[in-house]
Amino acid sequence: MSYQGSRAFHLAIEVGDLERAVAFYCDVLGCQAGPGERGWRDIDFWGNELTLHAGGSPRGYAWHGVDMGSVPVPHYGVHLTREAYDEVLSRVNQHSIQFVVPPYQRFSGTEYQQETFFVQDPHGNCLEIKTLANPDL
């Protein structure tokens, strides 16, 4: 897949209790908090700008069938190096965060092999954390 320009993106989401959400993204996942003002805070989401906004009602998600079964939609996520993925997985386990979808290896034995898992932030936003065997594809 070819990308034009920047590979970083910006996503703004509602997270309910802002302090609780910042703690989840920083203390559990290991992200870094950036600037913010009353009612919002930027998070360095592995080189992407994730802006957390206080308030809002949890929206929930639907389940969509894929090769690994069903996954929650909508969701957002990140592709990490194997080392970073293992570190985040360890942090999630250390904090006893419940998986929405537990770690799963997809496309085994192919050039598209990957490992992925899904968790929710405290407001119910679903995140997919994955590592690719061949990240340059």
Phi, psi of 74, rounded to the nearest 5 degrees? -80, 160
Model confidence over 20-42: pLDDT tens digits?
A: 999 999 999 999 999 888 899 99
Contact 56, 16 (CB under 8 A): yes
- Length of the chain in residues, anyone? 137
Is the overall model pTM greater than 0.85, yes or no?
yes
- Domains of the chain, with CATH numbers? 10-132 (3.10.180.10)
Instruction: Output the pLDDT for position 107.
Output: 95
Beta bridge partners of 130: 79, 116
